[in-house]
Amino acid sequence: MTQESKLKVVCFFAHPDDEAFGSGGTLAELVRKGHQVANVCATNGDVGEISDPSLATPENLWKIRQGELRAAMQITGVPDVRFLGYRDSGMDGTDDNKNPTSLFQADVSKVQTQIAGIIDELQPDMVITHDPTGGYGHPDHVTVNQHVTSVIDSMGTNRPHLYYVCFPKSNFRKLWQQMTETGITPPFAKDLLDEIGSPDDYMTTVRDVTDYVQIKKASLACHQTQLDPKGPFSALAPEFMSEWMATEYFYLTPSHDDGNHQKDYLTSL
Instruction: Write down the pLDDT at residue 192.
Output: 66
At CA 245, angle to CA 239 and CA 251, rounded to 5? 160
Q: Give the residue from 87, 52, 51 showing the smallest Cα distance to 66.
A: 87
pLDDT of residue 193: 72
pLDDT at 1: 45
**DSSP sequence for 204-224:** SEEEE-GGGHHHHHHHHTT-G
**What is the reported pTM?**
0.94
- Of 4, 77, 86, 6, the residue nearest 41 (C-alpha): 86
Among residues 172, 97, 184, which one has the least CA distance to residue 142?
97
Average confidence (pLDDT) per 10 residues, the chain, 269 residues? 77 97 97 98 96 97 98 98 97 93 97 98 98 92 98 92 95 86 78 79 96 97 93 87 95 73 86
In this prediction, residue 186 carries a pLDDT of 80
